[in-house]
Chain A
Amino acid sequence: MTKILALTGADAAAEAMRQVHPDVVAAYPITPQTGIVQTYSSFVADGLVDTEMVTVESEHSAMSAVVGAASAGARAMTATSANGLALMWEIVYIAASYRLPIVAPVVNRALSGPINIHCDHSDSMGCRDSGWIQLFSENTQETYDNIIQAVKIGENKDVMLPVMITLDGFIISHVMERVEALEDEEVSKFVGTFTAKYPLLDVDNPVTYGPLDLQDYYFEHKRQQYQAMQNSADVIKNVGKEFGALSGRYYDLLELHKMEDAEFAIIALGSTAGTAKYLVDQMRNEGKKVGMIKIRSFRPFPIEDLRLAVKKLKGLSVLDRSISFGAKGGPVFVEVESALFRTGIDIPVLNYIYGLGGRDITPTEMRISFSDLEKAVKGEKFPAVQFIGLRG
C-alpha cells in the first residue's frame, strides 16, 4: 500500500528513520540537517518510536555515541552537514574500520570558510576515502528510499559498512515534494531485525573493539575493508532490485536517462541530476541526441557500469559540485577519467565546477556543457576545468 505524502527532504529522511525504527539516534543540530533531527526528536517525544535519543554536545560525540551503540549491537543512526561532518572526522574513519553498519543522512552543505550554509558536495567528497558507502539522492523520494535501503546494504554480512545517504542542502532538505511512502510494516519487514555478529554486550562471548592494531594486523584489516567495499556494489544492486519489487521504484549504482542512442551526455550527482534530466528532455524535443548519467553510488564507484554506459558516446561532460584543489579536476571528474583510462574509450571529457556554496544552476546555464562537447569533437580545445555560473 502506498501513502502519498507532502514532505520536505528533511522530513522524508525523518519519516524513513521512524519506519526503520533504530535503537539509538545520536545527533547534534546543524543547518540544514536540523530538520531531520528536530522531526525525529518529536517522534521520540510523542512516543511514536522508542529510540534512545542521545542529545550530545558535538558532532564528534554524536558519531562516537553511534559507534558505541553499534558496537554494542544496536541499530544506530546519526545525521549531519558540512562542519558537523568535519568535526566527526576521526570517528567517521573509526566507524568504517570497526565495520559498523551505521546509517547517516548527510545534508550536503559547503564547508567553511568563509562560512556558508548552502549546498555543495565538499563535505561528502571529503569523506570519499573514509570507507563509508556513499549514495547520493536526487530528490525527497530518493532520500526516503535510500535511507531504507541503506540499512539493508550496510548490515549485509558481506558488507558490514556504514552508509552515508546524501541529500542536497536546502534544494532537497527544504523543498516540499510528493513522497510515496511504504507502510510501517512493509519497511519493518524489508529491513528485518539486526543481529550484530560480535556485539560488545554479549558477555558470554567477550570481544574487544578498537585495541591497538600495529604492524601485525592493521594491514589485513584494511584489506578486509577493501573487500567489503568491493562486495557492496552487488549488494547495492540487489537491494535496489528488492526495493523495486516492493515499491515499484528500482535502484542501481547508476541511473541512465535517455542514453540508448545518446551521442553526448552529462554526468551529475544529487538534485542536479534531476535538473539535467529536464534539460535533456528539452534538448531531445529539439532533436538533439543527448542523455544523462546519474551517479547514485559514489562509493563504491561504479567503474564497469560507467564504462558500459559511455562506450557509444562521442563526448561526455562531468559536473562537479565541489573542488579538489591541486587536482586535475573535481572529484567526480577525476573518478570518471580514471575509470575510462586505457579502456579504448577515447572521447572528449570536459569538467565543469558549479554551484559552490549554493549557487543555483539553471538548465539554461547547463546547456554549455553540451554545446562545448559539440565543439570539442570538432577539435576545439577547452581548459581542464571550467566553471558554470561564476561571475567575472
Chain B
Amino acid sequence: MKEMLEIRWHGRGGQGAKTAADLLAQAAIHQGKFAQGFPEYGPERMGAPMRSYDRISEKPITIHSAVEYPDIVIILDQTLLKNIPVTSGLKKDGIILINSSKDGKEIRELLKTDIGSLFIVDANKISKETIGRELPNTPLIGALIKVTKIMPLEPFLKDLTKKFEKKFSDKIIEGNINAVKRAFEEVKEHVQ
C-alpha cells in the first residue's frame, strides 16, 4: 500500500456517500490503521451532488483539508458524469470505481478522459436485489476492497454489522452483507 491512500466519493444526497466514508474509515481504524472519513458539508439536500472523503495510512495523518489529488474516486451515481468533474485531480495511476449499468466504453466517453484504471459494478441492481432498494454505498465498499485489497473482507463485514445493529433490522443488515459480497465478486475492470 502507498504511504497514504486518498479517496473521494461522489454521490447525491441520500445515497450514503457520507456513511460509506465513515464506515470505511472506521473499519480501517479498527484494523490498526490511521484513517479519516468526512463529508464535504454544504447545503445538504436529497438528490443534490455531494462529496465525501477518506484517507487511510499506516502512519498518523496530519492533513485536514479536502482531498485535492485522490488515488481513487468512487462514483455512486452515473448521472453525475454529465456535470461534475469527477476525475479532477485524480492521480495518473489512479482508480475510478463507478456504480453503473453502462459498459466501460460508454463511461469513458462520458468521463472524457483516459486517466486511471476504470472499474465498474452495478451497485444499484445488486442493492435492489439484496437490500430491496437502491443503496449503492455498501456494495461499492465491497468492490473497493476487491480492487485495492485495502483490507480483508471479513473484518469489514463484522464492523458493518456492528455499526448497523443499532439502527437497522437483521434483514437489512443481511441484505447489506450480501450486497457487499456480491459487489466484491461482480466488480469488473474495463481495459481500453
Residue positions of A touching B, CB distance < 8 A: 4-6, 117-118, 138-139, 168, 170-172, 174-178, 271-272, 274-275, 277-278, 281, 360-364
Contact = CB atoms under 8 A, between A and B. Distances in A.
Q: Is the interface of B mostly helix, strand, loop or mixed?
A: mixed
Contact of A176 (B22, B41, B64): B22
Contacts of B26: 6, 176
Contacts of A4: 29-30, 32
Contacts of B116: none
A368 to B, nearest CB: 15
A291 B77 CA distance: 42
B65 A176 contact: no
Nearest to B29: A6
B65 A275 contact: yes
B134 interface: no
Tier of interface size on chain B: 20 to 34
Contacts of A170: 38, 41
Interface string B102-142: 00000000000000000000000000000000000000000
B36 interface: yes
B37 A274 contact: no
B148 interface: no
A266 B137 CA distance: 40
Contacts of A138: 62, 64
Contacts of B39: 174
Interface string B19-57: 001100110011011111111010000000000000000
Contacts of B62: 138-139, 274-275, 277-278, 281
Contacts of B32: 4
Contacts of A361: 65
Contact of B34 (A118, A174, A178): A178
B30 A176 contact: no
A175 B41 contact: no
